Structure 1
Amino acid sequence: MPRMLRFVLAFLALVCVGCTPRSAPDLTPPAQWQLSPAARTDFLFLKAQALLAEGNAPAAAQALSRALEEDPQPTLYLELAETYWRNEERQKAKTILKEATERFPDQFAFVANLAQIYMAGQRPKAAAATLRSYIQDHPDNWTARAKLGEIQVRIQAFADAVDTLQTIPEPEREPEHLFFLGQAQAGLGLLQKASDNLQSAVDKAPQMAKAWAELGYIRERQKDYPAAITAYTRLSELQPDNQEVLIRLIELHLELNNPDKAQTLAESGPGTESFRLRCVDVFLQNGFYTPARAMLDTIRESADFSPKTYLYEALYWYQKERNPARAIEALRQIPASAPFYNQSLHFLGQMHLERDQPEQAVQVARKGKATFPDIPDFWLLHSNALRRQDKPQKALEVINDALEKWPEDTDLLYQKGLLAEALDQSDTAMASMEQIISLDPEHADALNFVGYSLAEQGRELDRALVLIKNAVELRPENGYILDSLAWVYYQKGNYAKAWDIIQEAVQLSTEDPTIWEHYGDIAAKLQKTKEARRGYRKAIELGAEDQTSIDKKLQTLPEPAPL
């Protein structure tokens, strides 16, 4: 019988059995057909395709298994493995692929699919071992090496990935190989090599969007913003509906202080309110208020703009105009049904505190606690408002109530520490801050609090030094933390080191009287009388609490030598 006729007859037979019960598919061709083994294989293969089309993967797998018995060919192994995979029978898929690799050891498709199953089962080592075994017998299969390199990149074994991918000769490196090599080099911090390989990838494959995206990101890390813009612009051309790319281009143009271009890009994007509000957010975060205002005005021209616009109006009035009253006016337009009402309500309370209206802030906080009992921010707001009313004990009670619900919330614990310190409950304050450090070893403020407190008491100075150094690493531009570091060195008797650091601290925090008093103390120890006098006088000028003590320090300084 001609092969084409066999296929036609098999297909017609499958159409005729469309109403066969799903639980018991008929996998036997009519006896009168007298099909050869090859024809029976064709029949079973087509039967499996029909069953897959019906959504009956288990029966399709039975048909393919029977076909394999008739003719164990590579295509059938792959079909059966894929069918098991679709039916989420990964173990069976793995078993059939292992059998296929033993029968057809040169077929890379089986190895690639087996590695994929291992990766899906969170077994990257097994996937890599499978590929390495194949590569050992097929050293010139660059596709296998590339697949191994890809897996190594995905599990962040970047050094191994570079070693693997670099064994592919340069003339044989496909764009995909160069892409993963660039990713691996970027993971090792080899940014220039990474950008070179990614550039080669897009030169060979200009439509490779993921390579343009990675190249743009690497150029950003190199702070080569014009080159990053070039990459993202090309990506935007390939993916014109990708709003994330457009937003990133807007941010980069703002980074280059080109708000006009950023605004043009924003106006060229989707005219949806959600996209425009995202642009407003970007402009506000980067301090470019004119385009933010223009875009808000455009949104307000619509008769049915959403309440979220009022939230950004409030941000604009607060950040640009420093006008809490206008911000409050905008926030009061937001209905309680808005999905972001909790944010707007908390912002409203903060604006009342900004206007020195603690009673109104208390009312907002109470409403927030009742409406959103699972959001601790309203307990913090309530506590801050009570503290502003000079009610630290009540403020502490609110925080203690909150800690009953959220005992490991570091914001609440930090507020408790500050309030306890204000109430002269030093042991409670230190215990709270120590708890924060145990929960979050990178909480810079708690590290600084404990370190400075130890330095003030002149005890555990070595630990104090470690704590504050950690805080400085986390926030190197914070003048208060640098002051703490200087003070630890002062207490340890290293006045020269303290002097170097305190000079930087007063430049970063010029209006703090305590820092200036420390400046004076350190200068006095180094017999820098002029600088000591300057520090003490500045502390008094800025309203230091214990001015009598500072006056006494001034009196003990030696008089300047006569000219």
Structure 2
Amino acid sequence: MNYSFFKVIKNKRIFLLVLFFCFSFSGFSLSTKLILTKSDTLTSKQKFDFKYAFIDANRQLMLQNYDVAQGLFLKCLEIDKKSAASYYQLAYINYSTKEYDKALKYAEKAVEISPNNLWYNFLLSSIYQELNDLKSASNVYKNLIKLYPQNYDLYFEYSSLLALNNQFSKSIKICEKLEAKIGFSEKISMQKVKIFFMQNNKKAAYKELHTLINKFPRETKYYLVLADSYVNEKDYEGAKNVYESLLKLFPNNGEAHFFLVQYYIQKREFNKAFDELKHVFASKTFDADQKVQMFVSFSKSIGDNKELNNKFNELFNILLETNPDNLDVKILSSDYFYRNKEYKKARQELEFVIKKRKDNIYVWQQLLLADNMLQDFEAMYNHSTEAVKYFPNQSFFYLFKGLSSYQLKNYNIAIDALDFGKKLVVETDPLIKQFYLYLGEVYYQLKNYEKSFNNFDIYLNLEPEDTYALNNYSYYLSLLEKNLDKAESMSKKAIEKEPKNSTFLDTYAWVLYKKKNYTEALEIMKRAIESGGDTSSVIVEHYGDILFKNKQIKEAVEQWKKAKKIGSTTKNLDEKIKEQKLIE
């Protein structure tokens, strides 16, 4: 079973949230926390020069002019070598620029001069941590606890650093020592949970979490931490049990329902997943985007299951009703309608989105695909023409502009669009083939046969099995009575792949007819008629022509009459019927 969607905590330094130091330097304002100098031997002028330089240094520090600030703090030390504040600020500057060795030298000196200053010690510990000297970093807090035994935050930092240095037993003892001082604390208990997990002592961690849940049964965060812990350990059944317990107290908890949605989808228990999704969609915990993601995940999982698709439809309607104007929901609904072959509805949703989000390339692409399925080439032309204004370097839109122009018989516009779009495509891109194919078609309509056939040749070299291209190319050659052997070979290949395609059979028969192979042409044409060609005026008229060449005059005239009845308006058809002879 794949539970890749569950989050996993990978980095224990992230998992154990340690406040190494948290201060915001703002130049001179920090000086209120600093004792500028301890020296009693400075003259009045030295004190004035020191104070002036120190204030200026902090101003430069505030402006992040670190080099200038560092020079001024060094000048302060020239005046007073016992200025812990100057050493501290120099340590901070080098810490900020990641020059940790230099920073350490200054920080140690600051603490040496003022060992009781918390800020100096916090920075010193942080520098040790950056240098990966966790033992020294933790010893800083060990010493601070001796100085400030009532500062309980120091115990947490000390415990955390011990844990990071894999001294788990000592870390737990510090928590217990603090607990003995202040009594049971949620914060201490959670610290122990984190340490137990770092120690891989899952049993103790779960026990501590259950203690928290028992003491605070209506505090949802502990259920969630416990459930997440089970997920991190890939114990999904354990997580499920916790979430179900939480839902007994808080039936509308979105996170619990969300987990169960994913859980049941993975288990392929789709009815249960559906029930959970209804809760999620009703929850305000998740925004529309998250609900869309869950909806997509569910829809991909159910496949073609008819019963589940009915539920899917119900879910879809809930999503639409609760988020009627959300653009992502509109895009999703267009995909839904498109999948159900409701192309007009799909297009309506996309047109709504495109009015507000014209920079979304996916929406434009889907809109053109909907136009194509509706065979609405006028709309396709208008949409593709607008799309290229926003995406002038996207060949996809030029392809559809070319295709729609071809269908609307605007052949010169089609050539311009296809030629330009083709230049935007690299030869290895599969899309390039479509440009060659449609250029072949358009140039044929413009009677530029050389360019037409050249593009067909390139296309078929790239896509030799395309029956559509094989058929059309061979038919065009037969009409021009050019390269009929090649036409026969291509047409034969097409009907070998689709032996009951009446159009392809008609083409093959017509190529044989042009080659004066009337007997075989008649056999193939009968197959075309049997395969549904008797409803096509073109095929039926061709059938009459071939019959005539096989000296079946009466039968030929019958087929010509039938072709006219179906709707043929070819130039010589009436005369052929009247004269009862073939007129080419």
TM-score bin (small chain): 0.3 to 0.5
**Which structure has the larger Rg over C-alpha atoms?**
2
